[in-house]
A and B are shown apart, each in its own frame.
Chain A
Amino acid sequence: MTTATTNDFDGPSTDASAAALRAALRPRRFGALYVLEHRLRAARQAWTSFVFPALGTPVLYLFAMGLGLGSLIRQGSGSVDGVSYLVFVAPALLTAAAFQTASEEFIFPIRVGFKWNPIFFGMNAAPLSPGQIIDGNVLATSVRVVLNGLVYFALMALFGAVPSGWGVLSVLAALLTALSFGGPLCAYIASLDKEASQETLVLRFVVMPLTLFSGTYFPLALMPVYLQWIGWISPLWHGTQLARDLTYGAGEPGWLVAVHLAYLVATFVVGWQLARRIAGKRLNK
């Protein structure tokens, strides 16, 4: 007796399954944007904690580093990397701020969503997939980094720290910096389950040293050779050099620019894909 496989479990057959297929079209396509929307609504609830750092940090740093430290350096060696200290340090402050933002945004919301207030499980019980949940968080952080970066850039221009017309693209260098570090960080944080304050360890023993030793406040070449490798593996160094190329034309050879770009993109893609996989394992045990 051979029967056609009309009641095959795989095959949608009823009105209900047809309705399900229709209803899932939008979440399948736009799921990550709904996660982004959630993050933006949450940000609106606490907007002061987003606006004040976005404005305050650049003003403080540009004044302290650019003008304060800058005038000290002007009295000494005169210039750094062929330009005034303000011009040299401003793009680095921009990327370092993006780096810092990414550190926080890929630690806390991810840790919260999987563990402390497990809203990711709620999203996934709705039609959103683990990958979309990660993507939405990457988008949310990207939006914040770009908006902060534009504010930072406007202030840099106001301080006269951007000689090149290509300068505004340094905001994209800042975004790449944020994602390059953020991708792997997101994957790591997504894999954490037990409480052990790894967050503080990351901020203290990874983010802090990378900020200091990535050619941010002084050229990498001034560091002892045995410490320069920190810069080479640091997304912040690659991103900062890219930003410098864009704001004042730091005069790096084309191949090195390509290395910066490739390194930033590759680390992001690997980390991001890993984070999506880990999220899937975590949410769909």
Chain B
Amino acid sequence: MPTPVITATDLVKRFGDFDAVKGISFEVAPGESFGLLGPNGAGKSTTMRMVGAVSPRTGGELSILGLDPNRYGPEIRSQLGVVPQSDNLDVELPVLQNLIVYGRYFGLPRALVKQRAGELLEFAQLTDKAKTKIDDLSGGMKRRLTIARALINDPRILLLDEPTTGLDPQARHILWDRLFRLKEQGTTLVLTTHYMDEAEQLCDRLVVVDKGQIMAEGSPASLIRRYSSREVVELRFGSARNASAAEQLAGVGERIEVLPDRVLIYADDGERALEAVRGRGLEAITSLVRRSSLEDVFLRLTGRSLIE
């Protein structure tokens, strides 16, 4: 592995007497697309803020581009692009001005900033919105503009905290497409998400975090291989009957999970498992065979689902 651009070792963050991050370690290689997947409150944003050199760590070691953020905050931040969890575009400035003013924070010459701002508006598909007020943009447009803004200094690492949370499916797909392009161009991406499909689409490698700790690490495919079966059968018997139905299914597939709204059977061959269910005389209201996902990995690791 080439020299990592980020090295975190036993990173801890404490707020008062609450440990938000409890000793996590990871490395990110240049050009890699690295994710932190975890539910709300897992400590993803807190970790990102430490990596972004705006939040001092309580313990452990952290090195960004070979520099300690405690001492080299502005230096590190000059090389980062940051997309925070909630947008903080300046609503008093129109779209293009938001980019220009942000570029100036890095001490970049006005001419260069203007040129890049134009290119980035193109990239963000916002060229015709250059003079629009921020309040008149849709959520997806704001997010794209925030990403464009984060690229104004041509960063070595792009940090994205929940880039598509709160967006409708179409806006998410447009955003993923833009991020995928960046990934193809070799930009180092570090992103947090609680959407397993987002992690699967965008991350080369990820850590699953829960309650401030890393539960597992690997590529999406290897995590699924390690912690889940190839396929899953989802059965809904109605919320009152799920638990009792599951009892009668013991032995079908490799493993059974009972959730409040459905029963999951993990099996390498989902269709055969479904036949076995029918063979026991059980008829579900709905049944579905699908491939395993990171959602199943998370469920296996924590006993809870990612969302809610």
Report if A and B associate in a common complex.
yes
**Which A residues form the contact surface with B (CB < 8 A)?**
9-14, 16-17, 19-21, 23-28, 30-31, 34, 37-38, 41-42, 45-46, 117-119, 121-129, 283-285
B156 to chain A, nearest CB (A): 6
Are B102 and A13 closer than 8 Å at their CB atoms? no
Are A126 and B88 closer than 8 Å at their CB atoms? no
Residues from chain B with Cβ under 8 Å of A11 in the complex: 66
Bound complex: CA of A27 vs CA of B107, how far in Å?
5
Are B88 and A118 closer than 8 Å at their CB atoms? yes
Of the candidates B74, B79, B94, B153, the one whose C-beta lies within 8 Å of that of A28 is B74
Contact with A along B39-77 (1 / 0, CB 8 A): 000000000000010111000011101111001111111
Are A41 and B93 closer than 8 Å at their CB atoms? yes
Of the candidates B63, B106, B149, the one whose C-beta lies within 8 Å of that of A9 is B63
Are B65 and A23 closer than 8 Å at their CB atoms? no
Of the candidates A25, A45, A119, A126, the one whose C-beta lies within 8 Å of that of B77 is A126
Of the candidates A9, A17, A19, A126, the one whose C-beta lies within 8 Å of that of B105 is A126
Q: Does B282 make an interface contact (CB < 8 A)?
A: no
- 15 A-B contacts (beta carbon < 8 Å): A9-B63, A16-B5, A19-B79, A23-B78, A24-B75, A27-B107, A31-B74, A34-B105, A41-B97, A45-B94, A121-B84, A122-B89, A127-B105, A127-B107, A284-B55
Residues from chain B with Cβ under 8 Å of A123 in the complex: 105
B102 to chain A, nearest CB (A): 7
Bound complex: CA of A10 vs CA of B71, how far in Å?
8
Majority SS at the chain B contact face: loop
Bound complex: CA of A228 vs CA of B261, how far in Å?
73
**Which B residues form the contact surface with A (CB < 8 A)?**
3, 5, 15, 52, 54-56, 61-63, 65-68, 71-80, 82, 84, 88-94, 97, 100-102, 104-107, 149, 153, 156
Residues from chain A with Cβ under 8 Å of B90 in the complex: 38, 42, 117, 119, 122
Known contacts A11-B66, A17-B66, A126-B78, then 18 further A-B pairs from the complex at CB < 8 Å, ordered by chain A residue: A10-B71, A12-B66, A13-B66, A17-B72, A19-B156, A20-B79, A24-B72, A27-B78, A27-B107, A38-B101, A41-B100, A125-B82, A126-B153, A127-B73, A127-B78, A283-B54, A284-B56, A285-B55
Residue from B62, B78, B79, B149 having most chain A Cβ neighbours under 10 A? B78
Are B67 and A20 closer than 8 Å at their CB atoms? yes
Residues from chain A with Cβ under 8 Å of B94 in the complex: 45
Are B84 and A17 closer than 8 Å at their CB atoms? no
Residues from chain B with Cβ under 8 Å of A283 in the complex: 54
Residues from chain B with Cβ under 8 Å of A119 in the complex: 88-90
Known A-B contacts A38-B104, A129-B73; A23 and B79 likewise in contact (beta carbons under 8 Å): yes
Residues from chain A with Cβ under 8 Å of B80 in the complex: 125
Are A117 and B61 closer than 8 Å at their CB atoms? no
Residues from chain B with Cβ under 8 Å of A26 in the complex: 106-107
Bound complex: CA of A10 vs CA of B76, how far in Å?
12
